[in-house]
Structure 1
Amino acid sequence: MFLPDKSAGGTRSVEPNLGLALLFAAPISVVAGMLGVDPGFLLLPTLILLHYEPKHAAAINALAVTPPSFSALIPHLATATINWTLGAILVVVGAAGSFFGARLTSLYVPGQRLK
């Protein structure tokens, strides 16, 4: 996931630089944490500028954003009032939208256009 797929026979002229991506990830995370926002909006363009394919950059971004999101949720669970019906509806609709959106994007949007 972090390195290009050699078996796909891609004609990429510049390889993604994992070391440079990790070097940029730390300050991006610190700045995003100080601002109280998710680091994904800075991390995704940075990965694309470092020559990652847009689909791989989005996957790495999703992986990097999920743990902080859950850790921010945990302190609120003790005092939260949860509307389980609305939550279930949002989960089902969100999952369906994610699946169909990803499917449509993979079929009809080439990587260069997405970039």
Structure 2
Amino acid sequence: MEEAVGPRLYSCYKCRNHVALHDDIISKAFSGKHGRAFLFAHAMNIVLGPKEERLLITGLHKVADVYCSDCRLLLGWKYEKAYEESQKYKEGKYILEKPNIVKENW
């Protein structure tokens, strides 16, 4: 059996740019605009859109859309601010939607 070299990663579905490490997953139990989504502690090789207030399933948040830095595919969003105390743990974290990312080195 061939062993994977390097860390397990998630890449942009469209261009295979590395956008997150498997070890940075906080939760796989999130919902995005287009189905399942993962909450990550960090993301890389991304560009953030403007911050805006958005009413999500869990209440009002200030978020910024997250785009792949290479092909500009919309990957998800970053939580900039949570207004409800129970949601504060999301601040500074990233939602990457499962249909927009693929596994690498598994």
> Shared fold (TM-score greater than 0.5)?
no
TM-score where L is the length of structure 2: 0.25
Question: Which fold has the larger relative contact order, with Cα–Cα distance below 8 Å and residues 6 or more apart in sequence?
Answer: 2
TM-score where L is the length of structure 1: 0.24
Richer in helix (by share):
1
Larger radius of gyration: 1
